[in-house]
Amino acid sequence: MGVKPKMGILFFTSGWFRDVGLQSSSSSITGEVDGIGEEIIQNLSSFLEPVYSGVIFSKEESDRAAAEIRSAGADGIIIAPLMWAEDQLIRAALNELPELPFIVCLFLPYNTLSEFVGYQDMLKGSGMVAMLQWSGFLKREGYEYRTVSGYYRDMNVYDEINEHCLALSVLKSLKNARCGVLPFRCDVMSTTYVDEFRIRDLYGVELKYLELSRFKEVADACTEGEIGQFESRLRNEGYEIEINQKNLNEGIKYAIAMEKILLEERINIFVMNDVIDEMHNCFGLRPCLPNPEIAGSGIVVNMEADVAAGIAMYVLQLFTGDVPFYTETYTADLEKNALLMGHPGYHNVSNFDEDQPVRIVSDIEYENSDVFTGASAYYKYKPGPVTAVNCVYNGDKLRWTVFEGYSLEGPPKMEGTCHLFCKIEKPVKAFCERTVQIGVSQHWVVVPGHVKNRLESLCSWLNIGFCSV
């Protein structure tokens, strides 16, 4: 994701242990536990920014630590009893931080126990008592949290924590996201409809409706210098331009207009209803020439005003760090058990197969009907493992349907538009029947790698339904 999530760290031990003399400030166990805490912080710091003020053993310390976490604007909290600790310590912190999601961790100090365990050694490992004790009241009082446990020097434990922290960081980013819609929903594809009030309430995503006339005015105001610089950049990137200068210039004007407006409006997700007559009558083309500045800013773009798929694209980009590829399932090859997937329109070119150049071609759907032929990227998706996510609003919340497959090697598989040829494990017949029974849209967002299991955990944090195909 680029930026480390900021996490409040609350490590607890018992004040009572100190009161009865089991753990004095000068005892070896105190120093050992403090040392374990510092080592854990060092390991956590490789993937998060910790807000940590030391091991807590009193309510006053818990209050101070919570105030520091609140002031720092943390994305979430990691709570861990390094030894047994009283309920009131964790209660005090949670009362001060009611809005922050949290992870409860058990960091065991031993990978194996000695043949005979001394009492002080048992105390050092007594965080398990606290973790189990706390779970009862946390569940009874309605807290939602995730749990990670294991030996504090086991790097697999930190990998699990990292996944949860990334999810919390995505959750925070999503609550500040703006989705630009040009100019309104796609009436011919009602599966793409969402309840924008419910989407804002659940996920914090705000919809901003944008005017066609505004895009045309900004495009028409582009200077020859701007157009020339943009063209030079395309050629320097190695794109093969296969359209004439007139159509290229017009495509560049709308690519520049898109960049200016989306950045001005602080848009994170841009969904355009590109199948309406109003757009083509106003622009004379579908704006789909890729703009490197839009790609570099992290804005995701899709067609047919699919807000739910746009949110999925944004979330997947934040969580995986990879650029999402917007597709639909065109058709299938039963013999090869593969899906031909792609979509006309705008695409980030980051995922092209390096064995094949990116070409700038006419917009295959509208080259014969619009005033201009359009300017569109054409490439085959790079080979390798992929995960595909379908996202719909089901009347209650967003739901993801997910499968894994392999983008196959070879030359371009189809004419005119960006695409991939994706081999899947489930037989195509069973895939079709299963997805239709679930109730999906035609749109699938593809990211590199097999990450289905990671996405299930992510969805649980984000309140997104999850189905595996």
Average confidence (pLDDT) over 121-146: 92
Domains contained in the chain, CATH given: 6-174 (3.40.50.10940), 178-468 (3.20.14)
Average confidence (pLDDT) over 261-279: 97
Question: CB-based burial of residue 213 (10 Å sphere; 0-12 exposed, 13-18 middle, 19+ buried)?
Answer: exposed
Average confidence (pLDDT) over 427-438: 97
285 φ/ψ sector (left φ>0, alpha ψ -120 to 50, else beta): beta
Confidence grade of residue 1 (pLDDT, cut at 50, 70, 90): very low
Confidence grade of residue 119 (pLDDT, cut at 50, 70, 90): confident
The amino acid sitting at 411 is: P
Share of the chain above pLDDT 90, in %: 90
Average confidence (pLDDT) over 382-406: 98
* Structure tokens belonging to residue 92: 């005090």
454 has pLDDT over 90: yes
Whole-number Å distance between alpha carbons of 17 and 123:
9
Q: What's the confidence (pLDDT) of residue 18? A: 74
Whole-number Å distance between alpha carbons of 299 and 271:
11
Whole-number Å distance between alpha carbons of 182 and 75:
32
The amino acid sitting at 432 is: C
Give the strand pairing for 102-108 and 145-151.
parallel
Mean pLDDT of the chain: 94
Phi, psi torsion values for 345, nearest 5 degrees:
115, -150
Q: What's the confidence (pLDDT) of residue 25? A: 61
* CA 155 to mean position of chain CA atoms: 23
Of 166, 169, 85, which Cα lies nearest the Cα of 132?
A: 85
Q: What's the confidence (pLDDT) of residue 19? A: 66
120 has pLDDT over 90: no
14 has pLDDT over 50: yes
Q: Which of 12-16, 155-159, 233-237, 382-386 has the lowest mean pLDDT?
A: 12-16
Average confidence (pLDDT) over 179-203: 97
Distances in Å between the Cα of 204 and the Cα atoms of 98, 178, 305, 415 are 18, 9, 18, 39
Compute and round to an integer the Cα radius of gyration of the chain.
26
Q: What's the confidence (pLDDT) of residue 7? A: 96
Q: Which of 120-129, 161-170, 196-205, 353-362 has the lowest mean pLDDT?
A: 120-129
Of 454, 337, 359, 333, which Cα lies nearest the Cα of 416?
A: 359
Average confidence (pLDDT) over 94-104: 93
Give the strand pairing for 384-393 and 398-407.
antiparallel
Confidence grade of residue 400 (pLDDT, cut at 50, 70, 90): very high
Q: pLDDT per residue over 36-88, tens digit each?
A: 999 999 999 999 999 999 999 899 999 999 999 999 999 999 999 999 999 99
3-state secondary structure the chain: CCCCCEEEEEEECCHHHHHCCCCCCCCHHHHHHHHHHHHHHHHHCCCCEEECCCCECCHHHHHHHHHHHHHHCCCEEEEEECCCCCHHHHHHHHHHCCCCCEEEEEEECCCCCCCCCCHHHHHHCCHHHHHHHHHHHHHHCCCCEEEEEEECCCHHHHHHHHHHHHHHHHHHHHCCCEEEEECCCCCCCHHHCCCHHHHHHHHCCEEEECCHHHHHHHHHCCCHHHHHHHHHHHHHCCCEECCCHHHHHHHHHHHHHHHHHHHHCCCCEEEECCCCHHHHHHHCCCCCCCCHHHHHHCCEEEECCCHHHHHHHHHHHHHHCCCCEEEEEEEEECCCCEEEEECCCCCCHHHECCCCCCEEECCCCCCCCCCCCCCEEECEECCEEEEEEEEEECCCCEEEEEEEEEECCCCCCCCCCCEEEEEECCCHHHHHHHHHHHCCCCEEEEEECCCHHHHHHHHHHHCCEEEEC
Q: What's the confidence (pLDDT) of residue 27? A: 67
Q: What's the confidence (pLDDT) of residue 29? A: 82
Model confidence, pTM: 0.93
Distances in Å between the Cα of 226 and the Cα atoms of 175, 220, 373, 439 are 35, 12, 21, 45
Give the strand pairing for 419-424 and 338-342.
antiparallel
Confidence grade of residue 243 (pLDDT, cut at 50, 70, 90): very high
24 has pLDDT over 70: no
286 has pLDDT over 90: yes
Average confidence (pLDDT) over 210-216: 98
Average confidence (pLDDT) over 81-105: 93
* Structure tokens belonging to residue 232: 């030079």
